[in-house]
């Protein structure tokens, strides 16, 4: 199974970029992993228009066969990191070709993205910036694989 993350907007500040590189390097030992940042050419301060611009770009980068999972505060929550690792494992076992996680922009997702998505997940009850969510998600993805492979990372 290939795992791809599509994130809207550039990662910043530098510590976020470096953290992404850090986890990317670790995750790619476990799966075919790709991180892609989509930067819209146009920008708008109007939330609805901004979400539509992001959505158009996002949809161009999705294939019909992709299983698309949004990181969304209204999404399914997990009781633990084990629970999340099981979620990843089930996707692997069900023969998904490409699993695409989407980290939205600062205004969230347009309705067209909710319609295209297969699932929504939420990693915390508290709100984090869409930049911090990148690190939080990647750490949990790495931790999930470490659990599935019985590596000791989850005691670190």
Q: Does 8 bind a copy of itself (CB under 8 A)?
A: no
Task: Calculate helix-pair angle for 14-27, 132-148, nearest 10 degrees.
Answer: 20
Question: Which C-beta is closer to a copy of itself: that of 61 or that of 74?
Answer: 74
**Euclidean distance between CA atoms 107 and 72, whole angstroms:** 11
Point out which span in 29-37, 58-66, 112-120, 129-137 binds a copy of itself (CB under 8 A).
129-137
Q: Which is nearer to a copy of itself, 25 or 61 (CB)?
A: 25
Candidates 52, 116, 130, 134: give the one binding a copy of itself (CB under 8 A): 130
Establish if 30 lies at the interface with a copy of itself (CB under 8 A).
Answer: no
**Pairing between strand 32-38 and 2-8?**
parallel
Number of H helices, E strands in the chain: 5, 5
Given its phi and psi angles, is residue 45 left (phi above 0), alpha (psi -120 to 50 degrees) or beta? alpha
When the beta carbons of 59 and 132 are compared against a copy of itself, the nearer one is: 132
As measured in angstroms, the least distance from the Cβ of 134 to a copy of itself is: 11
- Asked whether position 51 contacts a copy of itself by CB under 8 A, the answer is no
User: In Å, how far are 31, 133, 153 from 28, measured between CA atoms?
Assistant: 5, 19, 15
Phi, psi of 33 (to 5 degrees): -120, 135
Q: Which two tokens stand for residue 65?
A: 């066969």
104 binds a copy of itself per the rule CB under 8 A = no
Q: Smallest gap, in angstroms, from Cβ of residue 120 to a copy of itself?
A: 16
Which residues are at the interface with a copy of itself (CB under 8 A)? Answer: 13-16, 18-19, 22, 77-81, 84, 106, 123-132, 135-136, 139-140, 143, 153-156
């Amino acid at each position: 199974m290939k795992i791809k993350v599509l994130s809207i907007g550039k990662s910043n500040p530098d510590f976020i970029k470096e953290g992404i590189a850090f986890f990317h390097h670790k995750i790619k030992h476990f799966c075919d992993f790709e991180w892609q940042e989509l930067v819209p050419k146009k920008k708008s301060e109007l939330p609805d228009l901004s979400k539509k611009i992001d959505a158009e770009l996002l949809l161009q980068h999705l294939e019909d066969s992709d299983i698309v999972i949004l990181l969304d505060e209204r999404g399914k929550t997990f009781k633990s990191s084990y629970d999340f690792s099981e979620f990843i494992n089930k996707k692997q076992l069900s023969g998904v070709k490409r699993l695409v996680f989407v980290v939205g922009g600062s205004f969230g997702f347009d309705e067209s993205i909710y319609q295209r998505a297969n699932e929504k997940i939420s990693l915390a009850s508290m709100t984090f910036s869409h930049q911090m969510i990148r690190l939080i998600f990647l750490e949990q993805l790495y931790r999930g694989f470490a659990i599935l492979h019985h590596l000791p990372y989850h005691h670190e």
